[in-house]
Each structure stands twice: as structure tokens, then as C-alpha cells.
Amino acid sequence: MKKEITVGAAELKWDLETGEVLFDGGDVVFFWTSAMETFFDTIREITGTEATDLVLETTGFRQGIVVGEGFRELKNIDASNVVEWISNTYAPAGWGKVEIVEMDIEQYTFTMHIQDDWEFKMNQLNRKGTKGIFVPSHYAGVLTGLFGQNFWYRTIRYQNDEQPYSIVEYYPSDVTVQQNIRELARRQEDQQIRQLEEMVNEKTDMLQKLVRELSSPVIPVLEGIIVVPMIGSYDEDRTEDLINNTLNELPKHKAEFLLLDLTGLNRNISEHTAQLIDKLAAAARLLGTETILVGVSPELAMIITRTMQDLSKFETLQSLQHGIYYALGRSGRSISPKNK
């Protein structure tokens, strides 16, 4: 059925069979879908796709409730005349063709065919394949307003170049837009937490790497003499780093003497630390490097004699300076003051 009317100089035509509305020969929907597309694109740019879809769904649903409640009061719409009312109301408004093809009055379930609605036309402008959200959720709101109970929807098929219309099922449901909003907020919060955890883990790894590099320095002081300061306490990871770093550097510097500086060790030196020193010295010996313990204070010497007698086999000196002089003497060298 086609209707025509002229208002002023503008000619309007309705085709209620297809739901098409023409304004001076052109689709009336295209006069405002471009503006709506800009509006939706702006939301998507600011909030992201997931949040935009929720905005469209929530807005469509809530607008539908207003329409449904209004027509229920004005037209006394119920299950007996809803099929005719849906089609006759939305087609003249430029919403395309919508038809309730299946209805179960006892279960209050509806199946709609939605064809050439304004959202589909808008999505076809520049984003082929974008799924409709606003219009299907709008009809869920309409049914909710008409019947006074919450409806939700499930899109079975979307309109595309091969399929002439979308198929959407509607049914009573406990799903609400408020729940969907809360779920999105939780998902976004979880995502932010995951991002923070990843950032913390990344920074922690960087810090641990830096700590390992700083806690196991190998310092070449003179030809054939290197110093390794031991600082703090040593767990399994630090022990492995210290041994690996030191043994890798010994051949590079052709080290004859390894000075382990114990000045920075904690007072509560453990048996594990003693085993570390012994193990490192034994490995260095295999590479032709002699180990000398320096920085042994009187207090540390007392601790060593009480708890780490095995370290008495090493040459021990009070300061790093003494250790360097000792190593030079062992290699037949000395430091002489500069002649003036």
C-alpha cells in the first residue's frame, strides 16, 4: 500500500509494504543517518567499541520502553493487536519494514523480521557488515513497555547482501541494561587491573634485572686483578648470578687474582654465604685465578671463626687496599710514588 502527500513544496511518499519513506524522491532516512553516524562514531572514538555497543543497546531499549508505555495507554495495545500495531507504527516513521512472524501468547515470545531499518542503512554507508544493535534492542524495550514485564532479545540472523532481513527473537528475561552496564564496568575494571599487573610485573622484572646487575659487579682495578664486592645477603638467584657473572669475566680480564670484598656483607652471615665463597673460589681456581678475601673487619673475623672455619684456608686481609698491594706483590709488581 502506497501513500502520497505534498506539504508545501515537498512531496512525501510512503510504501507501507517495504517500509520505505521518500522525500522529494530520496530516502528520507538518509537526510539524518549521516548525522547519527557521526554521533555514534564520536562515542566509539571516545569510549571504544564495547562501550559504544552498550550505549546503543541501552539507549535503544530505554527509548523503546517510553514508546511502548505511551502507546499502551493511548491505544490500549495488547497481545491481540500488537502485530498490526508494530508494523503500522514503525514503517511510516521511516524505520523500515518490521513484521512479527511468530508469536506465542502463553510464553510471550515473539520472532520479528526487521528489514531496511535506519540503523542498517546507516551502517551500510561506510561500514559494511556492522551489526545492528540500537533497533533490535529498541523493540525489546517496546515490548517491555507494552506488556509491563522485562523482555530481551537474541539476533538469529543479520540483514546483509545475501539475507534480505534480520531475524530477532524476543522473550521474557531477567537480563537488564543495568546488569549489562555493571558487567561492562567489571570487565573494564578487570582489564585495568590486568594492565596494572602487567605493568607491575614488567617494572619488577626490570628492577630485578637492575638489582642483579648492581649486586654482582665485576670491577677490574689493575691488570690481572679484579674486585667483586659482596653486598647484603645471598639467596639462590643472587648466588647463581654472582657465580656466573664472575666466572664469565675472569677470562676476559685474564685475571690472576680475584679479590672478594666482604665489607658489605650483613652481620648475620649464613652457612650458605660461606658455601658460596668456597664454591666461587674453587671454580676460579680451575680458571687459574687465586681468590683473596678483603674487607675483613675484626668483628667479621670473629663471625668467620665461629661459623665459617672453612674460609680460614683463604688469604684474608683487612682492606681492599691491602688486598691490591698483596696481589701486586705476588705478581712481582708494586705501586711506586710518582717522582717529582
Whole-number pLDDT of residue 86: 81
Whole-number pLDDT of residue 151: 93
CATH architecture type of domain 218-330: 2-Layer Sandwich (3.30)
pLDDT, average across residues 132-146: 91
The yes-or-no verdict on residue 316 having pLDDT over 80 is yes
Q: Which has the closest alpha carbon to 216: 231, 205, 233, 236?
A: 231
Please give the residue that has the higher pLDDT: either 44 or 246.
246
Which ranges constitute the DSSP H helices of 153-309? 177-215, 236-252, 271-286, 298-307
Domain regions of the chain by residue span: 29-175, 218-330
Q: What is the pLDDT of residues 253-310, one digit of tens each?
A: 999 999 999 888 766 567 777 788 888 999 999 999 999 999 877 777 776 676 655 6
The yes-or-no verdict on residue 23 having pLDDT over 70 is no
pLDDT, average across residues 320-334: 87
The yes-or-no verdict on residue 311 having pLDDT over 60 is yes
Element (H, E) at 34: helix 33-47
Query: CATH 3.30.1380.20: does it fit domain 29-175?
Result: yes
Q: What is the pLDDT of residues 41-70, one digit of tens each?
A: 777 777 777 888 888 888 889 999 998 888
